Amino acid sequence: MIEAIWRRLTLGLVTTLLLGACASNGTLTATEVLNHQNCQAAEIGLRKVSFADVAKLRGSTLLSMSAPDAAADPDEDVLLFVLAKGHQPTPGYRFELKGARQAGQVVTIEFSWHTPAPDSVQAQVITFPCLVVGMERGDYNTVRAVDSNGALLGELRI
């Protein structure tokens, strides 16, 4: 049963990424895999993660991480990246994926960082917002994460 769920998740994500891979003007399909308010395991910045790491970010584990065969291994076709800004004082902070574009060997993940309105009433609860983005493996060797103001969150060589 777990393997069937694993295959469906992998097939759905890979299909979504492959259908958008032919976009023009240097844009890439970037899929929001997880947008969560409590990713305590996420380090600040941009990091490459595995499917098992995504479960850990949510505070859980996957029961079976063994792929049935090499052809179904999501790490061959899909790369996952987590964006995090560390702990925040209220639940009003969040990421929004805007898209991804490629220029030469560099892919830039574009996102918006939302903060609560100054006059909003928010629970005083420490949160750890994160965004996990899935992208098809392609002809690039560097991934950057940049917010809507042009501020660099992180850069990775892969």
Comparing 9 with 136, which gets the higher pLDDT? Answer: 136
Residues pairing with 110 in the sheet: 99, 146
Give the global pTM.
0.77
Read off the pLDDT of residues 59-80 as tens digits, 9 standing for 90 and up: 776 665 544 444 445 456 899 9
- The span from the CA of 55 to the CA of 63, in Å, is 10
pLDDT at 85: 96
- Return the minimum-mean-pLDDT range out of 40-44, 67-71, 85-89: 67-71
Tokens of 151: 């501020």
The residue-averaged pLDDT of 31-38 equals 93
